[in-house]
């Protein structure tokens, strides 16, 4: 089945698994479009997506619990292929007449999966035995009518089940995680062998579709877009400009919270290379005034957001008629801020793009990147002809350096951090690791330590270095930077940045830590 825009797609229903977004990533990696939807998404959303098949995610519930998420009737009524994962498999089994019960021996972690003698199309090309990642306390005790066991483990007689006639399958394990080495192969087999996908979703097709969509939405309206030099807003501006040309006006607000030299570089890039009409606003003093005496990280974010909106609104008001606001909202923003599963989880952080400006501005949102991951946005940027140095810039938080200064923000502390951060970036780029490392930056801690510089004792600032590897910021691991590189960075910061006498390196992953320090 193909959507109205001519794009094949997969509907992933989220039942609350911490791995749900990974399913979406694995599907996208096969050049098949998908969306991660709440398990109780209305049928209208499914009809609009017009999927080729469904994937049911895992989740923390037990199917027999009171109030446990149910399988929407449209999943079975549609007659499309279905792949249930963990809780999704158990839910599918229950709804089709099988039996699920608590397992006497729970499985968490690696297990060896043994395929049946005649493997299904789901396991074509795979070895007869391979490692999988389990995370479940329940298991299927009786298969639904028409289903057979396709694989087992020592503790799960039904490690996988299937009914080829109905194109319905279930996996007790998680194929989306890296701990299941052949998981991507299984998802690929489901997409192409079961659902009949072609895998023709590409950067080029996305740009064509997004440009047409923006034109349809905006019509003869006027659009404004806040740009900062970050990848998300830059690609958004370039995409919207391609769609509507001079009907877009970009607004660049200098908050004073950007990295060293970025304001000048960004303004030149937008005006000279992109040909954007850019309104420049110097608001450094307004932001410093708003943040005076503030140390709480969420309060910083709130004040920065409100101050930005006030300034942005004032500038927009000078432009006359404005109908739309273009934003660089990405899929991780949506997932983290609201929870794709609908019943989600506490908000991880505020001041995301999600939500837009206050209602009284009465602007409609244009969010062409809303369902893309960061690496996909980079590919879109290249497709649009943006230079690699703009596309592969490391992500930078909306509140800027405010989330990398622990404690009060002052002009002096900002300058200290800008200088230290510039050294970190210079040294990592000098050894060619700037593409390999996802983010790398300095943090100004609230700590002061005793040191010895020359013949004098000092009591000065402690700077932390953070460098992580990741694909989309949902998870991250600390980068194993070479010791000699760390030594150069530390030596330069202590010698070149006044008021710093100690440098430390952060070796925490996300989770449990976050990428930023605030």
> Cis link prior to 512 (omega < 30° from 0)?
yes
> How many other β-carbons are positioned within 10 Å of the β-carbon of residue 383?
19
**Paired residues of 54 in beta bridges:** 11, 82
| Residue 446 and residue 485 in contact, taking contact as beta carbons nearer than 8 Å | no
Residue 176 annotated to the active site: yes
Calpha distance 277→122 (Å, rounded): 52
Q: What is each CA distance from 403 to 120, 259, 333, 350, in whole angstroms? A: 51, 12, 17, 12
Q: Which of the residues 136, 174, 182, 351 is marked catalytic? A: 174
Task: Find tokens 């970050």 and name the residue.
Answer: 230
φ, ψ of residue 78 in degrees (nearest 5): -70, -25
* Whether residue 95 lies in the annotated active site: no
Which of helix, strand or coil describes residue 502?
strand
Q: Are 500 and 461 in contact (CB under 8 A)?
A: yes
Helix, strand, coil content of the chain in percent (nearest 5): 35, 25, 40
Token pair of 7, please? 């794009």
Question: What is the separation of C-alpha 323 from the centre of its chain, rounded to a whole number of angstroms?
Answer: 28
Q: Confirm if 375 and 471 have CB atoms less than 8 A apart.
A: yes
Sign of CA dihedral 281, 242, 29, 19: positive
> Which tokens hold the place of 113?
């999966």
Give alpha helix (H) positions in 130-272: 183-189, 203-218, 231-244, 262-268
DSSP code string of 70-94: ---HHHHHTT--EEEETHHHHHHHH
Q: Is 412 a catalytic residue?
A: no
CA–CA gap between residue 291 and residue 402 (Å, rounded): 9
Element (H, E) at 282: strand 278-282
On whether the CB atoms of residues 239 and 207 are closer than 8 A, the answer is yes
CA distance 55 to 94: 16
What does the buried/exposed string (b/e) look like for 132-169 if buried means 16 or more CB atoms within 10 Å of the residue's CB? bbbbbebbbeebbeebeebbbbebbebbbbbbeebbbb
- 181 cis-preceded (ω within 30 degrees of 0): no
From the candidates 8, 34, 39, 86, give the one annotated as an active-site residue: 86
Task: Please say whether the beta carbons of 87 and 159 come within 8 A.
Answer: no
| Residue in this structure with the two tokens 């694989």, named with its chain if needed | 151
State the catalytic residues.
Answer: 86, 174, 176
């Amino acid at each position: 089945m193909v959507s109205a825009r001519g794009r094949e797609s997969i509907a992933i229903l989220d039942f609350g698994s911490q791995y749900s977004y990974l399913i979406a990533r694995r599907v996208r990696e096969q050049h098949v479009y998908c969306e991660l939807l709440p398990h109780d998404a209305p049928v209208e959303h499914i009809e609009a997506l017009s999927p080729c098949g469904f994937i049911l995610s895992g989740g923390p519930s037990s199917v027999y619990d009171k109030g446990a998420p149910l399988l929407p009737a449209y999943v079975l009524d549609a007659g499309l292929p279905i792949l249930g994962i963990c809780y999704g498999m158990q839910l599918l089994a229950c709804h089709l007449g099988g039996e699920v019960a608590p397992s006497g021996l729970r499985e968490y972690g690696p297990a060896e999966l043994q395929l049946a003698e005649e493997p299904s199309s789901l396991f074509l090309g795979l070895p007869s035995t391979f490692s999988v990642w389990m995370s479940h306390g329940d298991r299927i005790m009786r298969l639904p009518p028409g289903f057979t066991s396709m694989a087992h483990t020592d503790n799960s007689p039904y490690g996988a089940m299937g009914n080829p006639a109905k194109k319905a399958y279930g996996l007790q394990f998680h194929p989306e995680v890296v701990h299941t080495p052949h998981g991507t192969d299984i998802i690929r087999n489901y997409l192409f062998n079961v659902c009949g996908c072609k895998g023709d979703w590409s950067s080029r097709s996305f740009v064509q579709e997004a440009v047409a969509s923006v034109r349809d939405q905006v019509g003869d309206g006027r659009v404004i877009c806040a740009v900062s030099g970050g990848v998300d807003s830059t690609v958004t501006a370039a995409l919207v400009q391609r769609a509507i040309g001079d009907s877009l006006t970009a607004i660049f607000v200098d908050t004073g919270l950007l990295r060293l030299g970025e304001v000048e570089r960004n303004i030149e890039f937008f005006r000279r290379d992109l040909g954007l009409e850019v309104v420049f606003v110097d608001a450094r003093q307004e932001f410093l005034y708003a943040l005076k005496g503030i140390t709480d990280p969420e309060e910083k974010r709130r004040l920065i957001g409100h101050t930005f909106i006030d300034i942005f609104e004032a500038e927009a008001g000078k432009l006359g008629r404005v109908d739309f606001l273009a934003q660089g909202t990405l899929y991780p923003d949506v997932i983290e801020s609201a929870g794709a599963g609908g019943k989600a989880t506490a908000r991880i952080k505020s001041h995301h793009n999600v939500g837009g400006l206050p209602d009284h501005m009465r602007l409609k949102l244009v969010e062409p990147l809303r369902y893309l991951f960061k690496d996909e946005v980079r590919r879109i940027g290249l497709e649009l002809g943006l230079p690699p140095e703009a596309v592969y810039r490391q992500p930078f938080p909306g509140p800027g350096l405010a989330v990398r200064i622990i404690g009060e923000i002052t002009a002096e502390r900002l300058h200290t951090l800008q200088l230290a951060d510039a050294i970190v970036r210079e040294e990592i780029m000098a050894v060619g690791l700037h593409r390999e490392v996802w983010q790398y930056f300095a943090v100004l801690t609230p700590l002061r330590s005793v040191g010895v510089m020359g013949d004098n004792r000092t009591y000065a600032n402690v700077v932390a270095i953070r460098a992580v590897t990741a694909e989309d910021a949902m998870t991250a691991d600390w980068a194993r930077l070479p010791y000699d590189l760390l030594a150069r960075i530390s030596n330069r910061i202590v010698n070149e940045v006044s008021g710093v006498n100690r440098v430390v390196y952060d070796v925490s992953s996300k989770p449990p830590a976050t990428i930023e320090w605030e």
